[in-house]
Amino acid sequence: MTVRHKFGDVELTESPVRGLMERNAIEDSRKATLPAKPEDYKFEVSKNFVAPQGIELTLNDKDPAPPLARQLMHDIDQGRGGQEAFSRMVENRCCEPGS
C-alpha cells in the first residue's frame, strides 16, 4: 500500500516529496555559492580565456559597463532572468561608448 500525504489540495507519495526536498537542498547549496551583492562579482576573465590574435585585452575599472553587468548577473542569479534580463543586456550594450 502506497502512503499518500496531503498538502492542501495536493496528495503526494514519498518519492515526489523526497525529490522536492533534494531539489530544494541543491538550490540552497547553489545560492550559497553566489555573490551576495552585485559588487561582489569579480571583474576578471576566466582562467581559460585566450584573446583572439591581434586583440589586446585591457580591463578598465572605470568602464561603466561592469557595474551594469554585475547588477544584471546578480538579478539573473536571483531568478530574475528570462526576456527581461536579455533586454537589459541589449540596453546595456547599446549604451556602451562606440556602440
Number of separate domains in the chain: 2
Instruction: Provide the domain limits for residue 26.
Output: 1-33
Contact 37, 8 (CB under 8 A): no
Helical pair 82-94 and 65-77, crossing angle rounded to 10 deg: 180
pLDDT at 37: 94
Residue 78 burial (CB count, 10 A):
10
- 51 lies in some domain: no
- 1 lies in some domain: yes
pLDDT at 22: 96
- 15 lies in some domain: yes
- 92 lies in some domain: yes
- Give the cell for residue 64: 561603466
- 4 lies in some domain: yes
- 50 lies in some domain: no
| C-alpha to C-alpha distances, 60 to 29, 43, 50, 66, 67, nearest whole angstrom | 33, 9, 18, 9, 12
Of 21 and 96, the one with more pLDDT: 21
* Amino acid in the structure at residue 78: Q
pLDDT tens digit sequence for 23-74: 999 999 988 999 999 999 999 999 999 999 999 988 987 888 888 889 999 9
Contact 99, 93 (CB under 8 A): yes
- Distance between CA atoms of residues 76 and 54, nearest Å: 33
- 47 lies in some domain: no
